Amino acid sequence: MSLSAPAIAGPAEVRFDIPAGPLEAALVTYGAQARRQILFDPAMVAGHQAPAIRGPMGADAALARLLEGSSLRVRETQPGVFTLQAPPSPPPSAPGRPSLQPQALARAGQAVASGPAGDASVARAPTLLDELIITGTLIRGSSPPSSPVLQLDGADIEAGGHATVGDMLAALPQNFGGSGSAAAALVGTDPRTTNDLAATGLNLRGLGASATLVLVNGRRMAGVGTRGDFADASAIPTAVVERVDVLLDGASALYGSDAVGGVVNVILKRRLDAPESRLHLSAATQGGAEELQASHAWGTSWSSGDLVLAYEYGKHWGLRAEERPFTATSDLRSLGGGDWRTFYSHPANILTFDAQSGSYVVGWAVPPGQSGRNLTPGDFIAGGANLENQRQGGDVLPADERHNLYASVVQALGANVRLLSDVRYNRRDNLIARPASVSVFTVTRANPFFVSPNGSSSHVLGYAFGDEVGPSLSDGRAESLGLSGGLEIDLPAGWRADIYGSAAFETGERDTERLINSRFVSEALGSIADDPATSFSAPRDGYFNPFGDGGANGPAVLDFIGSGYTRGRTLSRVLTFDAKADGDLFETPAGVVQAALGVQARQERFKTTTKSLVSTTAPVHTGGVTYKRNIEAAFLELRVPLVGADMGVPGVDRLELSVAARTERYGDFGRTTNPKVGLLWAPMEGLRLRASYGTSFRAPNLTEIYQTQNASPVLVGAGASQTLALVQTGGNLNLEPETATTWSAGFDFEPDALPGLSLSATWFDVTFSDQIGQPVLADIPNALSHPAYEPFVTPVDPNNPADLAWVEALMAASTSSNIGLFPASAYRAVIDARYVNTGEVVVRGLDLAAAYAFRRGDDAFEVTAAVNYLADYVRRFTPTAEPVQFVDQANQPVDLRGRVTGSWRRGAYGVSATFNYVDDSHSAAGEPIEAYTPVDLQLRWTPKTNSGPIAGLTANLTVSNLFDEDPPFYNSPLGVGFDPANADPLGRTVSLSLTKRW
């Protein structure tokens, strides 16, 4: 075998375990173990045998040994990409080019195979589609030359002790957990406020879960949540994950809308040579959050195709607020914070209006420890206040159960056409306990239990129903279905066409019980006459007594006023047709110019319906309208080598230009075109310098345009108290797309002088303009205190007739489930949170990565580090507003986040330890929040035997947060003592993962 120069880079030793057998299978195994991309035509290697290779060996030497006696040559055609060539000289029309085009990719366990040697009619065509295309380029057999791409696989999921793809990606320093996470949704800090099913969103660069495009096998997923605008990573089956590509750069020039912060492409297995079973168990040592996951994947192959089937089951027992001291109570004084309990309490408070502050204050406290039946005016506590723990009874993490099914079929239709199809189904059920309702209502002398401390004929009471009715219970179901089918066609001159159609469906249901019906409260108080439309009669069944402290109200009364409910349904659908071709255009002295071009048609639909019984006698139905849009797109990518290694240009081993552009026409708002330009310069072997520029966009989703105008109450922190505000929400027919300009520059260095070392750095700069959002809603605890939100806040005075009439009009038009809980006179501000194209977000920072692997005898060591430094996270809320720096503020990204892992392995045993770091930050009031530094430890056992019950077994014991570090304390106005965007509430967790390859 001869090796062309440069042949194979990176002689670092790898521990190989490749059995003797067909060369094709050996190359697949080699690609997985050496983590190299090997491109070859299956017919070229058919009939060749490879020797066994076991033990430590240099990657170059191992490949050379596999190819001994085959007469095959190997050439590095791209950094880290190697092409096998047949020995005959290339044809005159393409001097210096391989005679066969790359047809298959063997990497990280991806499988290719061939039929019997010499039988062209049944020769196995490549069995993979998306694996031939690395995310970040549409051209086969190459990596994005100018954009950083992280590649993870199933082994990374196991190595981190993770149960799901979402868990693994959440640990990346470049992913910000402040949007689309279950904990943030349940403790009230998620800026989206639409993650009603507690899904797992991905949020690269902190630009929002809707600005990170998530693909499965290169296909779009349908959106989740009440807006249907982000993908749920928990719906992806972990059991069949081949690899995950994370493109850390804007990529609308290639993929269209949503690819602003980056692209996550999850590649699922299309071939499985042996069945595989997996069991994952975990629990937190402080209690709660137990987890069980079990899966089995099975595959079979025949001369012209492959079939993979898999099922995965998962169950999570959730985490209740009382199971952690920093979420158990809103009185955070014992932790060094404030007392954020509210005066909407049980027993109640009698409220009076304070003209100076413009808000309700407590005038008298209802005395505790009595039934409310024998009160006298002198019993009320003037100047006192009852305070309620609004976190009581709620969940921090939901209890859920999920089922995943996956099927993939690949079938050769002759020598040049392959059919590829797959089906994904996921169902996730969860049960969430949410804090009970609170309310402000007026009690008059019509109530037989009414007593006034000052002789008034009526009083306004602040009341909490948790002790009597209990927390509301929210039962949710999410179902997703993904269907995809396509053809992969070999064309003349080495070109290939990929044609596919896909359909993605996502349905969500959320039923919430034990809600307080404000009209029923008024009827039970006697404030309105008995309603013959209800089965309840206060004179017959009993009046509601709001002056007691336990035992004051019987089951009939409480069941009646707590019989409110909401039923929400969403349906999201994405239909896609895509046709693409790629191949070589012509030869230049520097190399071959390559191109990819294609068209796409897409239809998006979204429908939401609600049924509620919270402020009326009969259920109210809203929604039911299906919103839809059609999108047509055309795209082109070119890769142009400018200087090649054979040209002998001093200081330039390789210089390459990449250009891409995509234009999309939307039926509802117009056209957008986005380019991307990249440059790669390799001044010497082992060093690559890269830079890119591009524009990206996110189209307004259908609910942002068409959502019904609405208003709902919210308690907002204002200084040391809380103020009731009315929040306006709704769509905007005049929205324009969000646009982003992205720059990046960096290097990758793998020095020959120190084998096993790799260093990389990437500077990124994203200017995200015309961002669609509800700016104040993203930071609602500080809506009335942060000066940046002043343009969106209008103070109201209930003593001003105009203000009161405006609030009453907003309430009358509202369909909110809670609008009847408070009278119009209780509101002190109106917050405009309707969708608008606001100012801009500027994110700048630096990604650093390093790895060093080496051996000492039988011991293998590796150290890896990944750091994300954020120099700026600046928001401008309106075009004329001053920019505001949000780096290091609670619920926002911190400036420094990273992780360092050291590992050792010898034979069947391995140990790794990971130090995680999230930098310190501060509250909006300037109170410090300490850094978060959990340490993880993993023990790994992979017995080296090919027979017996433990053959093919891998066991991982992982202790996350080894030293049981609590999340840093955050004195949140919401009464939650930690920041779920930047810390984990679980504490130490112990997990055991068992994987058996049969």
| CA 784 to chain CA centroid, nearest Å | 29
Q: Which residue has the tokens 């149960």?
A: 163
Q: 862-874, pLDDT tens digit by residue?
A: 999 999 999 999 9
How many CA within 13 A on the CB side of residue 907? 4
Rg (CA), the chain: 31
Coil, helix or strand for 253? helix
Looking at per-residue confidence, does 962 or 170 come out higher?
A: 962
CA distance 1 to 785: 73
Nearest of 795, 792, 764, 796 to residue 778 by alpha carbon: 792
What mean pLDDT do residues 671-686 have?
93
The domain locations on the chain are 13-117, 149-272+294-318+398-432+476-511+568-704+737-770+838-997, 322-397+437-470+518-561
Q: Does residue 870 contact residue 910 with C-beta atoms inside 8 Å?
A: no
Q: Which pLDDT score, from 0 to 100, does residue 90 have?
A: 35
CA distance 880 to 795: 22
Q: Are strands 620-643 and 37-40 parallel, antiparallel or unpaired?
A: unpaired
CA distance 437 to 821: 8
Q: 570-618, pLDDT tens digit by residue?
A: 999 999 999 999 999 999 999 899 999 999 999 999 998 999 998 889 9
Q: Concatenated DSSP letters for 573-638?
A: EEEEEEEEEEEEEEEETTEEEEEEEEEEEEEEEEEEEEEEESSSSS-EEEEEEEEEEEEEEEEEEE
Whether the ω angle into residue 347 lies within 30 degrees of 0, i.e. cis, is: yes
Q: Concatenated DSSP letters for 772-806?
A: EE-TTGGGGGGTTT-GGGGGGEEE--TTSHHHHHH
For 88-97, 365-374, 707-716, 749-758, which range has the lowest pLDDT when averaged over its residues? Answer: 88-97
pLDDT at 251 over 60: yes
Decide: pTM greater than 0.95.
no
Q: Which pLDDT score, from 0 to 100, does residue 755 have?
A: 86
Three-class secondary structure assignment of 672-733: EEEEEEEEEEEEECCEEEEEEEEEEEECCCHHHHHCCCEEEEEEEEECCEEEEEEEEECCCC
What mean pLDDT do residues 364-392 have?
94
CATH number of 149-272+294-318+398-432+476-511+568-704+737-770+838-997: 2.40.170.20
Coil, helix or strand for 877? coil
Q: How many CB atoms within 10 Å of residue 145? A: 23
Phi–psi pair at 905, nearest 5 degrees:
-145, 145
Q: 640-661, pLDDT tens digit by residue?
A: 999 988 888 999 999 999 999 9
Q: Which pLDDT score, from 0 to 100, does residue 47 have?
A: 65
| CA 920 to chain CA centroid, nearest Å | 23
Q: Does residue 235 contact residue 255 with C-beta atoms inside 8 Å?
A: no
How many CA within 13 A on the CB side of residue 619? 11
Average pLDDT along the chain: 85
Q: 288-319, pLDDT tens digit by residue?
A: 999 999 999 999 999 899 999 999 999 999 99
pLDDT at 625 over 80: yes
Give me 217's structure tokens. Answer: 């096998």
What mean pLDDT do residues 315-329 have?
94
Q: How many CB atoms within 10 Å of residue 378? A: 8
702 burial type by CB count under 10 A (0-12 exposed, 13-18 middle, 19+ buried): buried
Q: Which pLDDT score, from 0 to 100, does residue 144 have?
A: 66
Q: Which pLDDT score, from 0 to 100, does residue 23 have?
A: 84
Percent of the chain with pLDDT over 70: 88
Whether the ω angle into residue 6 lies within 30 degrees of 0, i.e. cis, is: yes
Q: 759-804, pLDDT tens digit by residue?
A: 999 999 999 999 887 777 767 777 888 887 888 899 998 889 999 9
Give me 658's structure tokens. Answer: 């990449």
CA distance 573 to 230: 13
pLDDT at 189 over 60: no
pLDDT at 542 over 60: yes
Q: Which pLDDT score, from 0 to 100, does residue 78 have?
A: 54
What mean pLDDT do residues 165-193 have?
71
pLDDT at 693 over 90: yes
* Distance in Å from the first CA to the final CA of the chain: 35
Non-local (6+) Cβ contacts of 194 within 8 A are: 225, 226, 227, 229
CA distance 74 to 337: 65
Q: 891-946, pLDDT tens digit by residue?
A: 899 999 999 999 999 999 999 999 999 999 999 889 999 999 999 999 999 998 88
pLDDT at 267 over 80: yes
Q: Which residue has the tokens 């991307």?
A: 676
Query: What one-character DSSP code corresponds to residue 444?
Result: E
CA distance 358 to 827: 9
Which residues lie across from 866 on neighbouring strands? 849, 899
Q: Which pLDDT score, from 0 to 100, does residue 156 have?
A: 81
CA distance 677 to 658: 6
How many CA within 13 A on the CB side of residue 733? 2
For residue 21, which amino acid is it? G
Q: Which pLDDT score, from 0 to 100, does residue 107 have?
A: 30
Q: Which pLDDT score, from 0 to 100, does residue 481 have?
A: 94
Q: Are strands 654-666 and 670-684 parallel, antiparallel or unpaired?
A: antiparallel
What mean pLDDT do residues 447-476 have?
94
CATH number of 13-117: 3.55.50.30
Q: Which pLDDT score, from 0 to 100, does residue 761 have?
A: 96
pLDDT at 113 over 90: no
Q: Which pLDDT score, from 0 to 100, does residue 32 have?
A: 72
pLDDT at 132 over 70: no
Q: 487-538, pLDDT tens digit by residue?
A: 999 999 989 999 999 999 999 999 999 999 999 999 999 999 999 999 999 9
CA distance 166 to 299: 25
Q: Across 53-57, 537-541, 721-725, which has the greatest mean pLDDT?
A: 537-541
